[in-house]
Chains A and B, each alone.
Chain A
Amino acid sequence: MAVLGHLPSRLLATSPEAYHWLSDPDTAMLSCVIPMVWAGMGPGCLIYLAALKGIPDDFYEAADVDGATFCDKILFVVFPMLKPLVMINFAGAFIGSFYAATGNILVMTGGSANTEVAGLHIWYKAFTFLKFGPATAAAWMLGVILIGFTVQQLKMLSRVEFRSNR
């Protein structure tokens, strides 16, 4: 929220001083997350586009006949059809954010301003302080914490089948 608070003054350039988004603990984490989400949007869009194309037109027509509005169609046709994809993507993003975010945060803040995530902590332990033992142990623990999500993701995956669109 602090980001939203500072955004207008920057966009309208009312204050001459540059605002240090990445060094203020209030805004640093969100400032790290937004670019990552934004960068992941491209591939995500492709997948969702493919999934949307896979929804037969008949469904929409039937909904039209039943008098559904735009929002109704999104809620009761599109979302149920995409639900497996959404769930799988959610689990994937959840697990991925624990690992993939490490590199980006390392580049952006280096873990300062309250942004030292678990992966970064392990990275520092292993490659900066060269304590491989504790680092590996911490990495295992992280894996164990996430194993539940992995199993859940696997279960979901085993319930669906994959199709590619032509």
Chain B
Amino acid sequence: MPILSQIGRRHWKTRLLIGLIYTLLAAGAVTMVYPFLLMIAGSSKSAVDAADQQALPAFLVDERALYRKHIEGLFNESLNQMRWAYDSDAAMFQSVEPPNAVDAGLVTEWDAFLKSGGLPDYSFEVGYLAAPQSRGSIPSALRTFKKEMEQAFGNNIARLNQALGTTFAGWNSFFVLPRNGLERRGNSRGPAFDKAVSDFASRQPLENRYYFSAEGYYKAAFLKNQYTRDIAVFNRVHGTSYRSWVDIHLTRTCPDPSRMTELERDDWERFVRGILSLVWIRADPAGASGYRDFLRAKYGDVAIYNLRYGTAFTNFDKAPFPVQPPAGGVALSDWESYLQGWRNSATGVMFMLPADLISLDTVDFRFRDWLQRKYGSSKIAGLSILPPQQDFHYRAFLSRQGALRREFAIRNIRSVIDYVALHGRAVLNTAIYCGLSVLCALIFNPLAAYALSRYRPRSTYKILLFMMITMAFPPMVTQIPVFLMLRQFNLLNSFAALILPGLANGYTIFLLKGFFDSLPRELYECAQLDGAGEFRIFWQLTLRLSTPILAVTALGAFTAAYTNFMMALLLCQDERMWTIMPWLYQLQSTSGQGVVFASLLLASVPTLLVFVFCQKVIMKGIVVPVEK
């Protein structure tokens, strides 16, 4: 450190100065590193913690934050599904709290019930199947399912579309719509695809599923929507005296008029007839005659019925009245009409399944039945037991926190890799493009500089000025003409289009010329005396002596090619010619914050690696202007 003299180093003033310098440098280092930490932390975000600004993501250290993230993922980021399954009032995932105490006995019973296989396929959905809020992220179950599909169909999306009746444009747009098992007009994902998903779902662990609770749906979506969340309002309207919402239940059959008010019966009927998904509803066979009257009124002639149903009945008395809702088609729509009530427009007569003949067969009731069979009806209070899903999930959550943390930390990064690297030619294209542009930069720039430096044409300065002036204009000036020109040459969507515009660089030629000028002329004379040809001089003498600056040129060409987005997109609009950058841009335009951060982080890895490993070369290749 010659600028601070060796003499007097221990003087307090000098020490103060050194201390000050170190403090400034340390402060600078911290402010440099902090944004990077934010970036890394941001790459693990999902919708629930997207607004947090912490250098260390909260879910890594805080159990509660991890729980919220887990619940969000488990319910496929659907707040409603969580509220219905848990019968909870949480306004958002950020305000979800872990249960205070786990009812271990009930959880064990629920576990045993699930393992006994008493529930049909449509009664649950798998978690981590979709991320509609944190967009772009591929949760673990979807990732596994996607991999299975890829293996099953040999990575060919067209075959999958054909086999499962889907219309995915590519593997990058592969998604699964989580089943909505409670609403009447649930989303449909096509029978063949639904079967594939169900098959996958049935192989998933129990703690990764959530079961549809009709009672939670009844209270959260139907009653609280109408009568507000205040139990007092409910009591006032109904003339009842419930202490809290916990005391209100969805009954299996229409409530007995002696025990519940008329309005409560009305609530139940409206909910069951019009709102709840049909799969949970069962009709009593006693309704068959009314159903046949309804069919008679609707179709008039049995021939029309036969035509629609593909049957051959002689009269309506043979027409079946399914206890369960039929699988689909016109039978289902008739069944539903009869449940909802159908008015004959000609006669004005109403046909409707009587309320007393409707019953519910939901997850809640099956669990209660199972408990009753196990312990006898006397021991079970019966009506009020709900599946302890929250406790069950929480217990499972406690035992797999480490795995969840790991999963959340790299989930978005894996999604980006899946998007960019595993499908299509993005990585290959980028490698070819970068390799070619480095090669071209190393061939054309030194040649031009050598010519200018060695032969010293009289117009050297003008030539240099001309080349430098091309750099003086904004990139927008050149972009459009370059595009038009390459289109004229029919070169769009080729590597030539990517490389030609940046083949030679005025500033690099200028730098190289200056560097070549500084090489001693005597060397050239010696080489000539020894009989070396011009190419030999260029290759063995000039280039060998200027490796550091050539390395820096190559690095510059690499970074320019790698980060080139605008031109890469403009000149190659065909997806097959896209480099990584257009792919990332497309991903970012449809993704949430976490995935955007992860993609940026991932995109910076190659340049970071290059700079880490070529540090020495870079330091050597830095040229410093010195006065002649």
Contact = CB atoms under 8 A, between A and B. Distances in A.
A146 B477 CA distance: 14
A24 interface: no
A135 B475 CA distance: 11
Interface string A73-90: 110001000011100100
A165 B620 contact: yes
B473 A139 contact: yes
Interface stretch (B361-369, B371-379, B507-515): B507-515
Contacts of B625: 84-85, 88, 157, 160-162
Contact of A84 (B7, B28, B627): B627
Given A88-B625, A139-B476, A147-B472, A161 B514 contact: yes
A140 B469 CA distance: 12
Contacts of B626: 54, 84, 160-163
Interface string B609-622: 00000000011111
Contact of B469 (A42, A83, A147): A147
A12 to B, nearest CB: 17
A69 to B, nearest CB: 10
Contacts of B476: 122-123, 126, 135-136, 139
Nearest to A157: B510
A154 B474 contact: no
Given A84-B625, A160-B626, A60 B472 contact: no
A133 B121 CA distance: 62
Nearest to A61: B2
A153 B469 CA distance: 11
B151 to A, nearest CB: 40
B499 interface: no
Contacts of B623: 162-164
B91 interface: no
Contacts of A162: 511, 514-515, 518, 623-626
Interface stretch (B105-113, B330-338, B460-468, B486-494): B460-468
Nearest to A50: B622
Contacts of B622: 46-47, 50, 164-165
Interface in A37-82: 38, 41-42, 46-47, 50-51, 54, 57, 60-61, 64, 70, 73-74, 78
B548 to A, nearest CB: 6
Interface string A135-166: 11001101100110011011001111111111
B31 interface: yes
B549 interface: yes
Nearest to B478: A139
Given A161-B628, A162-B511, A164-B515, A143 B474 contact: yes
B430 to A, nearest CB: 20
A113 interface: no
B605 to A, nearest CB: 18
* Residue among B17, B28, B472 with max Cβ neighbours from chain A (10 Å): B472
Interface string A90-111: 0000010011000000000000
A140 B514 contact: no
A158 B549 CA distance: 18
A62 to B, nearest CB: 11
B469 A164 contact: no
B3 A150 contact: no
Given A60-B3, A60-B5, A150-B469, A99 B474 contact: yes
B4 interface: yes
Contact of B477 (A47, A57, A84, A140): A140
Nearest to B476: A139
Interface residues of A, number: 50
Nearest to A125: B476
What is the predominant secondary structure among interface residues of chain A facing chain B?
helix
B307 to A, nearest CB: 57
Contacts of B618: 46
A100 B50 CA distance: 29
Nearest to A59: B2
B17 A164 contact: no
A54 B480 contact: no
A151 B473 CA distance: 13
A164 B621 contact: yes
Given A143-B473, A150-B469, A73 B3 contact: yes
Given A119-B474, A136-B480, A139-B473, A54 B624 contact: yes
Contact of A136 (B477, B510, B517, B548): B477
A38 to B, nearest CB: 7
A132 interface: yes
Contacts of B548: 164
Nearest to B473: A143
Nearest to B515: A162
B51 to A, nearest CB: 11
A143 B4 contact: no
Contacts of A41: 28
A86 to B, nearest CB: 10
A158 B464 CA distance: 10
Contacts of B514: 157, 160-162
Contacts of B461: 158
Contacts of A83: 627
B469 A163 contact: no
Contact of B624 (A60, A61, A85, A135): A85
Contact of B549 (A84, A146, A164): A164
A83 B468 CA distance: 22
Contacts of B471: 150
B624 A57 contact: no
Contacts of B474: 98-99, 119, 122, 139, 142-143
A17 to B, nearest CB: 15
Contact of A154 (B465, B480, B628): B465
Contact of B7 (A42, A64, A135, A161): A64
Contacts of B473: 139-140, 142-143
Contacts of B620: 164-166
Nearest to A84: B625
Contacts of A50: 619, 622, 624
B155 to A, nearest CB: 36
Nearest to B474: A139
A159 B628 contact: yes
A122 B626 CA distance: 37
A99 to B, nearest CB: 5
Contact of B518 (A46, A60, A161): A161
Nearest to B621: A164
B5 to A, nearest CB: 5
Contacts of B464: 154, 158
6 contacts: A42-B32, A70-B17, A139-B476, A143-B473, A162-B511, A163-B623
Given A85-B624, A159-B628, 8 more contacts: A78-B3, A99-B474, A143-B472, A154-B464, A154-B468, A160-B628, A162-B511, A162-B624
